[in-house]
A = this chain, B = another copy of it.
Amino acid sequence: MIKVAINGYGTIGKRVADAAAAQKDMEIIGVSKTRPTAEALVAVKKGYPVYIADISKKAAFEKAGIPVAGSIEEMVQKADVIVDGTPGGVGESNKALYEKYGKKAIWQGGEDHDLAGFSFNAHANYKDAIGRQFVRVVSCNTTGLCRVIKALDDKIGVAKVKAVMVRRGADPHVVKKGPIDAVVLDPPTIPSHHGPDVNTVLPHIDIVTMAMIVPTTQMHMHAIQMELKRESSRDEVLGVMKAHSRIGLVQATTGIKSTAELKEYVMDLGRPRSDLWENGVFEASVAVIGKDLYFFQAIHQEADVVIENVDAIRAMAGDVKDPEVSIKMTNESLGFVAI
């Protein structure tokens, strides 16, 4: 059993906790919280030991009905692998602690590539992560791009990618962030950082990205254009996508044309937290004109990286050497079959 600790039990952390807890080869030995909020209460209900950042707040947690198992430092000592789910930029400050106890740790996409020195996507570079101490799972957008680019590059060849990322303004429960009624260029310069971030996983891909933020909470939408290395066909491209265990095709017959309807569909399927772990490629949108491929894909920011974290844990622990074996273990444990 790989002993997994979640440092930062928030949007990503709580999902990774549940997904890791569902693996036969993993157990959650603790999760950390800074304040005794609703999420901490849920951790208690799920039976995860709660460790806290500032041990002087122990009484406040216990008054709120949350037994405190100890400090984050104690949690780290008990773990084999720590998944750091603290907010972007904060994760960096935890590195010394993980190093102090010689622990393996995974950071998320809010941290720079250099912090871990290795950026991960299960289908792209699982093998290179085997046995590593530090790994960064790339961001939700980058994960979504890497999956589909890697698959098409392997089977058909990708000469150039131009992607426009229309991003959600904030996660659904985040009420302080906007915009309320605006399209915000983020950044207003071109290219955005997403292209270089794809290159931390797939260094040889020629990619230019443009990004903006819109007033929605549900999912990101990618408008993707690719120049393939040779002429292809819509059917060939759809075939590559269908064959990928983490790319889903939103069928035209479902009538789904938006992120909101797609979210409703995965909700109705009974997925935990209505999570879309896979890329949601809109089948009707896939168009091939000569060497040019066009399509839309929805990326559920809270979900797609979760299963990548699980594979990253397994790769770092080192017992499962074959990416396909790990990916299958992860997917099956969650009852996950791409839509």
Residues of A whose CB lies within 8 Å of any CB of B are: 14, 35-39, 41-42, 45, 63-64, 162, 164, 166, 169-170, 172-186, 188-191, 208, 210, 212, 214-219, 221, 223, 225, 252-261, 263-265, 267-270, 272-274, 282, 284-287, 289, 292, 294-296, 298
Contact for A173 among B164, B190, B261, CB less than 8 A: B261
Contact indicator B285/A216 (Cβ below 8 Å):
no
How far does the alpha carbon of A35 sit from the alpha carbon of B268 in the complex, in Å? 17
User: Known: A177-B176, A268-B39. Is A183-B294 also a contact (CB below 8 A)?
Assistant: no
What residues of B have a CB within 8 angstroms of the CB of A223 in the complex? 164, 210, 212, 223
Identical chains bound together, number = 4
Prevailing SS type, chain A contact patch: mixed
Which residues of B lie under 8 Å from residue A270 when comparing CB positions? Answer: 272
Contacts of A38 in B (CB 8 A): 254-256, 261, 264-265, 268
A50 to chain B, nearest CB (A): 14
Report which residue of A180, A184, A257, A260 has the largest number of chain B beta carbons within 10 angstroms of its beta carbon: A180
CA gap between A336 and B115 in the complex, in Å: 44
A273 and B282 contacting across the interface, CB-CB below 8 Å: no
Which B residues are CB-close (under 8 A) to A210?
223, 285, 294, 296
Given the complex of chains A and B, what is the CA–CA distance between A292 and B214 in angstroms? Answer: 26
| Cα separation A208 to B225 with both chains bound (whole Å) | 10
Whether the Cβ atoms of A172 and B181 lie closer than 8 Å is yes
Residues of B within 8 A of A177 (CB): 176-178, 180
18 A–B contacts from the bound complex (CB under 8 Å): A37-B254, A38-B261, A45-B269, A162-B225, A180-B217, A181-B181, A182-B261, A184-B257, A184-B258, A186-B257, A188-B257, A189-B287, A190-B287, A190-B296, A210-B296, A215-B216, A217-B260, A270-B272
